[in-house]
Amino acid sequence: MEAGDFPTDCYLDAVVRFLRIIKYNDDNYTHEERVRNLHYAYTKAAMHFSQPKQQALIKASPRRLQASLQTIVAMVVYAWVRVDPEVMADLSIHYTYMLVLDDSQDDPDATMKSFYEDLLAGRPQQHPWWQMVNEQFPTVLSHYGPYCGLNLVRSTTDFFQGCWIEQHNFQGFPGSSDFPGFLRRMNGLGHCVGGSIFPKAQFDEGALFTEITSVIAQMENWMVWVNDLLSFYKEFDEPRDQTSLVNNYAKCDRLSLAEALDKLTRDTIRSSEQIVEVFADKDPSIADTLRTFCQGYVTWHLSDPRYRLRELVTNAAGGDSLVAQEFRAHQAAADLVGAVDPKEWAYPRIADMVENAQEVKNVQTTEPFVRKAFLNALPVGTIAQWGKKVWAQEYV
């Protein structure tokens, strides 16, 4: 991206206004706590995606899948602060599937013709993504009550259809002011996210029904607006991302790009203010969950390589304006807590797990049974070296 092409000053002003309103200051974890949760969630999720079926059905390079998993694990750990590590791991798997679909270019039309008939008959879906998600979904839903669980199911289905629409690169017709919000609510996973921050082990959804419902209503817009605001830079000149909310506002409402960005910023700030106001006097566990989620969700965007916001610090935001200085300070604060080297937690890599599993399979094929006497005769170091290749370091 050429720095001169991007509306840097306008964008930095929008981001800084938002960060001021939420009083950005992420104190969710110590470094050790963050790394521990990252590694636990990553290890379980990586094992899932290294399975033969996932490797066969996911049309992504090992490098792309690795990057997607690391991005999603960080999102879940940074934002779902109050859930158990096991929930973090299962949500990491679920939301990685969402990212895999979002990055896919396959036309789903042919594999969706029998969707409802297969659903009613209990047959496996024709679409490979649904096959994998449906196999994993019961594990995810086991962490939630029926009300929150239904939100996860419904929102995931909406997400699939939203991605279907996005594949046509349709920004809406001029004058169709309802279209941008319609598409963004559909593919934003707001209800899934809103429901998934309240696992049944920690929240009684019956006793907190009205509070949880209100959170889901707020998350529908807040999280997608924040995502659109903080991903505007990375999506600006990316051909696949031209159906962003800002671009769709500009097309449908006949606005300039600056006017559309300002509309998004004002909406995001208003929603942030509502979250603080509405839940200030509600159950303390709800308010705390929202506060930690919002802070962590912003940290994830600022510190994750996917969103490339550091480029604004090193390239575009080189001026001495007060706004540029404030942005650099926020970016530095986010990196201080969120920019954790993947070498500290994202091991073993999926490609290595697949390779090692194949090596084990080859050994089992040629020698179905390993004699106990043979194992006993091996030097201890031999077994340890093999174990280091197959298992995460902390288990060896």
Contact criterion met (CB below 8 Å) for 223 and 249: no
Residue indicated by tokens 């070296």: 385
The answer to whether the annotation marks 304 as part of a ligand binding site is: no
The answer to whether the annotation marks 235 as part of a ligand binding site is: yes
The answer to whether the annotation marks 241 as part of a ligand binding site is: yes
The answer to whether the annotation marks 33 as part of a ligand binding site is: no
User: How many residues make up the chain in this entry?
Assistant: 396
CA distances from 324 to 17, 74, 114, 159 (A): 12, 26, 53, 35
Token representation of residue 112: 């969706």
Amino acid at 376: N
The answer to whether the annotation marks 102 as part of a ligand binding site is: yes
The answer to whether the annotation marks 228 as part of a ligand binding site is: no
Chain-centroid distance of CA 158 in Å reads: 16
Residues marked as binding? 102, 166, 227, 231, 235, 241
Residues marked as binding for Mg(2+)? 102, 166, 227, 231, 235, 241
